[in-house]
């Protein structure tokens, strides 16, 4: 009887964690950083939600193909037409199969979504904090481990701490260079972010 009770406790606990993680998709993932066993190690972040709960999970978690990157800017991405709705299991199509390079942009915000472990960054065309922004994300996948660590180390040199428990708005925008695949995300609370289009997966380097 005691064994059954403990088993029930474990099942209930897992259910609560999953529900909490799902609710956090529309919140700040950092709120759940305390659930990460090693929050400072960006390469050992553990996703708190099942893959099936992640919007277009298979489409997002891919390598950046070794093809020529097209030059683009944040200002141009903000003009791209957006689809009213995309199924949650939709594969990549069209522009999403293309690699883009943004040579001149400014990093305004950086954080680790402690729910799905992606490093989420907001960039703008200029350093002005009121400039419209777009999102670029570096996934937790092992092939991006060094890119995540490099970004963490570079930000640390500027006195900014990035891990599963720390992050957010940068005091001053920093110039960055980005290479990544275009990706159209779903509508959610984005604050100053002005488009559903992202570069995801993406590798971001401070200039």
Per-residue model confidence (pLDDT) at position 13: 38
Per-residue model confidence (pLDDT) at position 23: 42
By C-alpha distance, which of 74, 207, 204 is closest to 152?
204
Per-residue model confidence (pLDDT) at position 35: 74
Collapsed DSSP state (helix, strand, coil) of residue 29 = helix
Mean pLDDT (10-residue bins), the chain, 207 residues? 41 40 42 72 89 93 97 98 94 98 98 91 98 97 96 97 94 98 87 95 97
Per-residue model confidence (pLDDT) at position 93: 97
* CA 12 – CA 61 distance, rounded (Å): 29
Per-residue model confidence (pLDDT) at position 171: 97
Per-residue model confidence (pLDDT) at position 101: 98
CA 13 to chain centre: 27
Alpha helices in the chain (DSSP H): 2-23, 57-60, 74-77, 145-157
Per-residue model confidence (pLDDT) at position 31: 61
Per-residue model confidence (pLDDT) at position 103: 98
The set of residues, in sequence order, having a beta carbon less than 8 Å from that of 197 and lying 6+ positions away, is 77, 78, 80, 82, 134, 182, 183, 184, 185
């Amino acid at each position: 009887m005691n064994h059954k009770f403990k088993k029930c406790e474990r099942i209930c606990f897992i259910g609560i964690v999953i529900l909490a993680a799902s609710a956090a998709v529309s919140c700040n993932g950092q709120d759940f950083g305390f659930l990460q066993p090693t929050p400072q190690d960006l390469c050992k972040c553990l996703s708190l939600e099942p893959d099936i709960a992640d919007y277009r999970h298979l489409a997002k978690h891919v390598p950046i193909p070794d093809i020529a990157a097209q030059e683009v800017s944040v200002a141009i991405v903000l003009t791209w037409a957006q689809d009213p709705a995309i199924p949650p299991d939709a594969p990549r199509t069209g522009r999403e199969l293309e690699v883009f390079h943004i040579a001149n942009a400014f990093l305004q915000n950086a954080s680790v979504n402690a729910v799905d472990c992606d490093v989420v960054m907001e960039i703008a065309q200029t350093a002005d904090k009121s400039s419209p922004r777009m999102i670029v994300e570096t996934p937790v996948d092992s092939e991006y481990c060094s890119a995540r660590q490099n970004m963490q180390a570079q930000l640390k040199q500027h006195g900014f701490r990035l891990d599963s428990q720390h992050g957010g708005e940068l005091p001053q925008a920093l110039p960055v260079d980005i290479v990544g695949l275009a990706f159209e995300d779903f509508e959610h609370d984005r604050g100053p972010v002005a488009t559903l289009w992202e570069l995801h997966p993406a590798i971001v380097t401070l200039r």
